[in-house]
Structure 1
Amino acid sequence: MYCLISASVSASDLTWTTLQKEKEGTVTIYYRSTEPFLIEEADGSLRGLEYEMMVGFKYFLWNKYGIRLHLNWQSQESFKYVFGHIKNNPKNGEFGLDIISRTVNRDLEVGFSNPYFPDIQVLVSDKNIPTVNSIEEFKEVFSEHTAVSVAETTYDQYLKNIRNKYQIDFNIIYKQSSNDILNGILEQPERFGYMDLPNYLLALNQNKAIKRQPILPIKGLGFCVIFKKGSDWQNPINEYLSSPEYEVLRNKGIQKYLGNDVYDLIESISKGEDEEMVLLLKEKELVDKELSERSKQIQRQAYVTNMLLACIVIALIFAFALFNRNRIKSKANEILTAHRGMIENQNELLSRRNNELLELDEEKNNFISILSHDLRAPINNITALAGLLQMDDNLHKSQISSIEHIASESRRLNKMVTRILDVERIESKTTDDFRKINLSDVLERVVINYRKQAEDKKIKINLTTDQSAYVFGLEQYLFHVFENLLSNAIKFSPLGQSITINVESKEKYHFINFTDGGPGLSEEDQKRMFKKFQRLSAKPTAGERSTGLGLSIVAKYTELLGGKLEWKSKPDHGTTFIVKLEAV
């Protein structure tokens, strides 16, 4: 926001009561440019925390009361003129802004709003002055040093109180505004003074050659708007400063002009947190940042130095070439030829390595193809032959058992090969087009496929679904996720237990829960259960076998579906796996 300053407008004697009746009026704001609270640009426009605060007050009155308020901004030379005008020649429609600290004595002279910003001042000195930690050290080090201040401000008052209370002999020089205190300290060695904490932190962030002395900090009552003593403007201003509208505007302004980290630090101190600890942590952070920047600067300087050296070397070579052109030219040609040969050899090596990688990738694809066709075909033949043998009515009981074992093992081997291939497909990241899928359809099909396996262990599967639950993805991916989770639940649940599968819909997500009554997962198992070929400490309850691939497939397919896999488990209390998918 920006506003052009009026050249000369007569002061207003407008009361809040009168403005409420007339619905339109003008107030005058006497201010002084104080970064980052109120900044006057070269073209006369204004910006800053205090400026945006008062513009926000104008809109607050319009939105809540339908009152059109005009702001007449009047620049003053120093704090003395801003405060003195409200103190000595006050009118109802006049305000003062200059990060004005509220004190007991000033309360007798002018009216104050509620604080709009914490008032914390720290003692700052030239960086070469030693750090002191006690009043005795302060007396010894700062005697005969020079303090920098602004006349008739709390900075000046605090310095004089220190000088009188502890009888320390130091001189005080005065600047026009608080913005000039930092420059005054840096003008000459052995200078010090009080600064507002925000300005100190901003200066530190800019690597200014100053340091904070960890003694005699001041916590004031806060920065306030001032106006005529007894003015009825106190009510609407305080109402605005406590409103949600001002809180939003303040937070945006702080982020723009100070940064959230500075404001959070000031708020922490103002709310009673250990001031020294908070400041030390912040100073350490800024020092680390400065060291990092210096390291980068050293690297840049080293680069520039190397470039200069390289240029000098090139210049010397060029001079020598002029001096002995023919011999150097011949030598240079030899070097260039050698370099060209070296580059050609490197290109040839890179080309050969690239071809080797392509061959390896092709071999991997061929190996997967062999697994897919050459392994599955004999396995399927074994399964089919076992089925034919089972049809013979003349088999003995032991023969039937052996044939069933062959069929079971061939099916297990087929599943193992399928899962290994699934892992390879996932890692190759080949996906088809996603579409809208009904969760209930997939879950019901998975449960039907595994009902016989559950009945063999006298395990009951309780499925609760939502027919209106849809997700976006590939049905094959979803089927593999749910199949592996249900297979594991049956595998690790004791005989006669129950497995619960239910779909919960919350906000924009569906949560598919698989809960078993198994032995649960140890902390060590939970750290490695999603890695391939991991055998966990929990064992299948009926002697089933595990490839160690199921959960890795579940995790990878869930990731491809844009979902999240969560779990809850305690040893001896079962396990719940939760698949979180976005609803459509």
Structure 2
Amino acid sequence: MLEMNIFDTSKPFNIVFMTFLFRLFTFSIFVLLLTTNSYSQDSWDKIKKEHKGSITVYYIQNKPFIYSLANGSMGGIEYEMFSEMIKEKRKELKAVIDIKWEAVDTWDQLYNTISNENDGVFGMSGITLTDSRKDQIDFLPPYMPDIEIIISSEEVNIFQKKENFNTAMQSLQAVTIKNSTFERNLVKLKNEKLHALEYSYVNNVEDLINEIANSNEHWGYTNLSNYAYALSKGLHLQRQLFYQTENQGLAVILPLKSTWKTPLSEFYNSPTFKPYINDLIRKYLGDKITDLIWDISSDSNSSLIDTLRNQQREIGLLTVESEIRLLRLTQKELEISQQNTIRNILVVSLSVTLLFLVMLFHFNNLVKRSNQKLGHQNQEIEEQAKSLKNAYKDLETLSQIGKNLTAKLSVNDIIKIAYQEINELVGTPIFGIGLYDEKDNQLKFPYVFEGDELLKNKAYDMNEKMRLAVMCFDQKKEIFIQKFSTDHRNYVKEVLKPIAGNNAESIIYIPLIEKNKKPIGVFTIQSFEANAFDSYKLNLVRNIAIFIRIALQNASTFHVKEEKQLKLMEANIHIMEQKELIEEKNHELQTANAEKNHLLGIVAHDLRNPLASSITLLSMLNANEDKFDEDEKMCIEGSLKAMHRMNNMIEEILDARASANKEEQATQQAAKDIISASEIVQSVINDFETYAERKNIKLGLDIQSDGLVEVNEQHCLQVIENLVSNAIKFSPKGTSVVTSIEKTPDFIQIRIIDQGPGISDIDQKKLFKKYQKLTPKPTGGEKSTGLGLSIVKKYIEEMGGEVECQSEVGEGSTFSVFLPYL
């Protein structure tokens, strides 16, 4: 994506030389500042020898590759990939490797920083691997293909012929990043095709994409991944069909002769790398874009296969773009409706203008004979102009009504807003929206406004076919009646009594129909006066019906999604509670089994001494066999054999217990992992982000210092999950939960601080015991088994750590976990 061009040979030598001196001076100042404020970084050999050290990663904000979030954490394809590489190297060396992430503003800053450092630094921002850069910087192996395309605003036409594209694009302003492969592509176009091309610079890819999306006069090159990501976020962009390029790939950069290249390259060459990076790209770009990138980047030397690949690329891109743009279909419908209204107004305007011209023509011939008639005509013109002004004002009001309605996600709010807006626009004493309930086979009106009276929860049975509302819904047709008392015979055979209020004279019913032609309800305005509505007001109401239908569909979709999300959250909480209960039961069974084995060992051990004495005594008696007769000898020998059998059984029991203890100790030792405290905490905070947002609770992370701990990773995760879950569970809405990490002389200290109700001294005494239900209650109706904190204490003590609580009633709580570090 980015490539340095030091000299431009098309300029005179003196200008080139002065430019070179200026760049050299700027670079010297930058290097001086960098050396006085640089972060510490260590070589691979040093960290391998000392088992500790730090490295620095310089990056430019570039979604979806690497970016920082508002809560202080980071994300992106390159961020997760590089963090995983360093995590593996920590385990391989059993070393503490700190990563410092430092943002820079421009590509020149990033390039100069990496090219002038010695070792232990890296650069990231979705950087293109090119041969021209290898003289000053080095690359790790490419991790994904690099396809560069031309994009423009949706206001710019998509050209089907290169000739038209070349002509049009030279009249627009191109935007690019200085010294990038984007600029290289533009320079090539300017030299070969677009000789009149002009372009300007921005600092980074995000500025480039925003500049193009927000202007109908700009265009430029960008990476296919950046384009797909921006398109999925709703930016108004489109892809032009010509001059696409494919580079060697995207890669992480590092200084020449860096000792890190060889060990980190092993990560790329492992058999697990391809599935890993494939899943990671899918996470940020989606399945279809990811499949498309891999498919169209396959190696081939055949011109026929290259042609097929180009066709495959174009078909794939068009398919993905079409699916994303389908999401905007609703907005397009609104725009078409507004355009139709404007077209009608223009027709009226042209008619009035033609009429005015005709009147002027006749005025020249009849001016002396028709002064009175001329005054009347002038009055008509003024009335028409006033009508046009009112129509334009109504059009603006109609647009605002659409925005107000589609912004609501509650059916009741939609009905109330619709009534207020329509009543102000056309004046309607009676208003209602009926929604079809398939279960009850009824048209249900949550609210019916009749003058100053509000009627709630009224319904029409769908079997009452003489109801105008039922007729409108069944036939999917409008009903427009100017005087119901005389015209009702054209619609119904008999007049039924209304469900509430009185019969109206002027009536408009409009069906609300989805895109699949399925009706979802009806919309009506009525008046007790005859001829209260004309065709102009009918047209306004038709447009408002479109807004109402879209708003109701949005509300229905949001309601379904919200219910599913709530069910998933409840199921997750239930699973966590069941998990805690199962683990507690398992621990009880293990404890009972250990106590049984211990008791069995005590009994066996205590039997050995009296049994040994008995064997000794019988052996002495058996040695003096001359003193006993045959029967007595047989009794002594039989008893001695029985004692030996019993002694052998006891020895087998003790030997079995000893073997079991050794196996258990070996299992416990093998279950420990080496991992940084920040990785554990960050993983838990990411998992609970959605849960906290639903309760309007802000999760914070404060990493004052970090370190490696040797713990059972699963148990440590469960400890932090229990503490963070409790903090969210017992905190009121609108508060915050902050997790901090700090290295003390003896421990890594992890603190979870909430703004909940606090814990009394009495409750603190039984805090870490089993099955304890404390005074504070969950603020969101969640359940609590009373086992979580007892499990926390058990696991922390097994890992050689400590846990404590500091709290006052009404002041929140702070739970501190102390773990020994390497």
TM-score using structure 1 length? 0.50
TM-score using structure 2 length? 0.36
